[in-house]
Structures are given as structure tokens and as C-alpha cells.
Amino acid sequence: MKNRNSILLLLVGLLCSAEAFADRQSEQPNIVFLMTDDQRWDNFGCYGRPEFRTENIDRLAKEGVIFDHAYYAVAICLPSRVTMMSGRYLSNHKVGFSHPYNYTFSKSDFNNTYPAMLKAAGYRTGFIGKFGFPVTDEAYERKGLVSGYDLRQQLSPYFDFFAGSGVHFRGAFASWPKDEEMEAIYSQKRPLNERTLKTGDAMIHFLKTQPKEQPFCLSVSFFAVKNDKDRDMYPPDVAEFSDHDFSVPENWVEGRNTKLPKVLDNWRGVPLHKQRTSTPALYQKLVRRFATQGYSVDQQVGRLVQQLKEMGVLDNTVIIYTSDNGRFHGSHGLYDKAILYDESVKAPFIVFDGRVAKAERGRRESALMSSVDVAPTIVSYAGLNIPESMQGRDLTPVIQQTQDREQWREAVYIESLFIGSLHSKKVPENIAEINERVIEENKSYRSRGVRTERYKYFSYYEHSPVIEELYDMEADPYEQHNLVTSPEYSEVLNKLRKETQERHALISSQEGHPQR
């Protein structure tokens, strides 16, 4: 009898625990979206390189879900940020750097981004750091920088708390609401090398001023780890790496890479590699800078988690960590990003959900994920309906392991539409003619393709003849052997070529394109 009562009590306890967990899952969770700038996917301990000292981010990965096949739909900062907020591809929203993809983002379109939707649903919304793209009353093709842009006037309807700058379009730093603490955080007396600490301080201030009865969605866009100047380096963190020689990826090229398609001679990544990463000494100098900046960010992630614990809300908070694009840092004999090799388009992507029981936390995820999935996933976490304008997929069933994998995607679409010679602070009136000339002279390196779990295909589709690249990523993860001319891969080539064409046609034709 005593044993029977014990079993009954145990069953009741388990039932109550299950009900309590279900209640937590049904609540609107707090959401924190963390994004760095130019942080390559493998610059983390949890992605195989512990020399980068990312202990707090690694802990998030260990207690959450880490994606091993995450990719950017576009791998350059301004359009990548639009894609993640809107859930739309660059060839659809057209908010990028260079003609004909250099539109502003209309307010009517911004109403269907995750910050606007969550604010309308009752969330307290915050943004800190690099905003990166112009939101205007109506979308229009930019003729260079946006004159007289007022961040507060344009963005205050969507954010209760803001501390950041536009970057790329003349959006000077703005902050609201005004208080003494924020003035102290962003005081001009603080040195430039504390830029990541300032972001962290503003993040903690947002949390400390959070009303208890209201859910929040905070987007933090670090200016790090992008760094070309010593002035951005926080001195105590510099010391952590000053004597360390970092490992060198197998596809790093000393000097010029003569195996690259000749069309890439027109890409700024070739001369930038010569200037910044083309010798062992230059490589080590720059990689130490990126490691330092990554370490500074990691310290702020630790502060974030600790603050959420102290507030007692970590167990009802979802934290998402990624970057806006990767970078080559000498791989393939390139610097910068955008071009469709994995160093540029592969993303770090980590999701921690405090509502998940501790015993069930911590796993690696192999499903293909795209940056276009960020917005619909955040909207889904908030319990809202995903708008038809969003072209990405909701990742929550994958994260929660309820997704039928037979019904999941087999490939992600990737594109690069930036042309450096068409990007300038003042765009000439005949930019369309100049664009056509670039194409006619075979200087266009616009490209698009698909990445499957095993293969990568892309083409420089405006080049004549079209240049194609195909890689078996299992056998050749560093993309050293182009298989386009290999007869045994002709079936794969034809399939992925067709897949690319069909996806592009669908993406560019869907509703939600800029109103003009």
C-alpha cells in the first residue's frame, strides 16, 4: 500500500511538472537577438577553434541548439540585416548597396518585420548598436547616402528603447528615452576602444529598466568584431592574445591566388587580401584583432546571461546568436565577404531557450538553416502568425525536434549582388548605363546558387560565358576542386543549376517587393 501511494505521488508530481512546463511554453517568452559584425563561423570554441576564447557563447551552445549547417542568404552587412529583420531575400526586398539593389526600406514593409510585429503585440522592443539600413516613408532608389536622416523620427514607432547609429546611410547616433544612465554610457569622455563595453552597458540598462509584467524583444547589433583599426581594441582584451599564434586554415593563400576566376579581379577582396592578410605576419596581426573583438563580445554575453538570471527571467527567455556575414581573412586569397565560398556565407547560429528542461538542453543540429529564417522564427516564438511577405521558414519545429525531416528543405538559396564600382557616396544619374557597361565588359561578379548538405553550386550569371562552380563539401570542405567539368558530377550539376534558376524566379517574383 505504501509503495502504491509513493507511485501515485510520483505520478502526480510528474504531471504537475509537465503542466508547469507546458504553461511556460505557452507564455510569450522574452527574446534577445544578438548579432556581431563580420564574425566568421569558425571563430568560436563551439565550432572547433577554442583558441578564440568564446567561453560564454560556447556555454550558450552547450545549453542550447547549435546549427552546423547555417548559411546567409546574402553575406554583406546592409542587405543581410534587412533579410534577418524582414525574412526576405535581397533580390526581393532590393535594399542593398549598389544599383539596382539600392532601395530604402519602406515603413509599410517595416511593419512586417519582427521588431514591428512584436511591438504591436505588446512586447517592449529595444535596439542597440549598428542598425545599418534606412527606413523611409516610401521606398526609393538611393542616389548615395540619405540626407538629413533622423533615426528617432523614422524608428521610434517601432522601438521603445534605442541606442545606436545608422552606418552606411548617414544615420547619426541616436538614443531614447533620455536618462542620465544612457548619457553616462555614451559619454564622449569614454574612449573609442570601449565600444563593445558601451553596447554591453546599454544592454544591461535596458534589462534593468524592464517592467516585470511585460515581455521584451531586444536586438543587440555589436559593431565588433569588424575591426581595421587599433583604436577599437579594448586594451585588457588585447593582452589575452598578444603572444598567441593562431592556426591557419588549409585554404589560406599567401600572396595572389591564381586559381580564382579572373572576374574576381574586379572584387575588392583581392587587393584587400594583398594589403591585410597575404603574409603570415599580416594574417596573425589581423586574426588577433578579430579574436580580441570576439572575446570582448563574449564577455558581454556573459553579462547578459548573468543579468537575466538575477532578474529571474532566464527560464522564460530565448537567446539567438549569429553574425551578419562571414569573412575570408586570406582564405582563397581573398579578404572581406560577399563572394559565395563558405568562409563568407556559412554562419554561426545558436539558439538557447530557457524554457526547455535542463536535462533536455544541448545538441547539435544538422538541418539546413538560412538567415532568411530568423524573422519568421522570432515571430513564431512570440506566438504570432507569420506574414505572407516572409520568405523564410519557421525554425522552431526543427529546434524543438517536432519537424518531419522529410518535409524540410534540401537546399538553401544564396546570392551576392554587390558591385563595388557601382557603390559610391554620390551615385551618378546614368548609373543604369554604367551597370550595363559593367556587364558588357564582363566585370560583373554577381552570383547566385544553392547549398545542400553535401554540395555547393553557384554561378557568375552575368558573365559571358557563365562561370560556374560546384563543390563536394564532404570531400572538399575548403572548396579547392571545382567539379563543373567532371563528367561524373554532371547530373548533380544539372540538378543544382535548375534548382538555382527556379528558386531565383520564385523569390524575385513573390509579393513584398519595394513599392516604387
Q: How far apart are CA 270 and CA 281, in angstroms?
A: 18
Owner of C-alpha cell 554587390? 418
Local structure of 2: helix, strand or coil: helix
Phi then psi dihedrals of residue 12, to 5 deg:
-65, -40
Q: Which ranges of the chain have pLDDT less than 70?
A: 1-26, 228, 511-516
Confidence (pLDDT) at 207: 98
User: Tell me, what DSSP letter sits at residue 132?
Assistant: -
pLDDT value, residue 515: 36
* DSSP letter for each residue of 29-40: -EEEEEEEES--
| Distance of alpha carbon 324 from alpha carbon 84, whole angstroms | 9
Q: What are phi and psi of 31, to 5 degrees?
A: -130, 130
Q: Are 371 and 322 in contact (CB under 8 A)?
A: yes
Alpha helices in 312-449 (DSSP H): 342-345, 374-381, 396-399, 431-440
pLDDT at 413: 98
**Which cell numbers hold the place of 383?**
506566438
Are the C-beta atoms of residues 84 and 388 closer than 8 Å to each other?
no
What pLDDT, on a 0 to 100 scale, did the predictor assign at position 511? 63
* Domain 27-414: assigned CATH number: 3.40.720.10
HEC-encoded secondary structure of 71-91: ECCECCHHHHHHHHHHCCCHH
Sequence-separated (6 or more) residues with CB below 8 Å from residue 485: none
Q: Describe the crossing of helices 55-62 and 280-311 by its angle, rounded to 10 degrees.
A: 60
* DSSP-derived secondary structure letter, 331: B
User: To the nearest 5 percent, what fractions of the chain are helix, strand and coil?
Assistant: 40, 20, 40
Q: Per CATH, which fold does 415-509 belong to?
A: Arylsulfatase, C-terminal domain (3.30.1120)
pLDDT of residue 313: 98
Spatial strand order in the sheet of 30-37: 174-176, 161-165, 124-130, 216-225, 30-37, 317-323, 350-353, 65-67, 363-365
Count Cβ atoms below 10 Å from residue 76 Cβ, excluding itself. Answer: 22
pLDDT at 510 (0 to 100): 78
Distances (CA, A) of 226 to 222, 372, 401, 508: 9, 22, 34, 30
Cβ contacts of 412 within 8 Å, gap of 6 or more: 71, 73, 368, 369, 370, 450, 451
CA angle in degrees (0–180, nearest 5) for 263-266-271? 120
Of the candidates 450, 482, 64, 13, the residue with the CA atom closest to the CA atom of residue 260: 482
Tell me the C-alpha distance between 299 and 237, whole Å.
10
- Residues 268-282 as b or e (16 or more Cβ within 10 Å = b): bbbebbeebbbeeeb
The three-state secondary structure class of 510 is coil
Considering only CA atoms, which of 161, 166, 162 is closest in space to residue 130?
A: 166
Report the run of H or E that residue 7 belongs to, with start and end.
Answer: helix 2-26
For 61: left if phi > 0, alpha if psi spans -120 to 50, otherwise beta; the answer is alpha
Q: Go through 320-336 and write b for each residue having 16 or more CB atoms within 10 A of its CB, e for each that does not.
A: bbbbbbbbbbbbbbbbb
**Set of cell numbers at residue 296:** 570582448
Q: What are the start and end residues of each CATH 3.30.1120.10 domain in the chain?
A: 415-509
CB 84 within 8 A of CB 35: yes
In contact, 35 and 82? CB cutoff 8 Å: no
pLDDT for 509 equals: 85
User: 159: Cβ–Cβ under 8 A, 6 or more apart, which residues?
Assistant: 115, 119, 125, 126, 127
Label residue 426 left, alpha or beta by phi (over 0 means left) and psi (-120 to 50 means alpha).
Answer: beta
- What pLDDT was estimated at residue 2? 45
- pLDDT at position 1: 47
Question: What is the distance between the terminal CA atoms of the chain, rounded to a whole angstrom?
Answer: 77
Where does the chain hold its CATH 3.40.720.10 domain(s)? 27-414
* Alpha-carbon gap, residue 5 to 9, rounded angstroms: 6
CA distance 153 to 209: 23
Distances (CA, A) of 419 to 198, 338, 482: 34, 10, 24
Tell me the one-letter amino acid at 157.
P
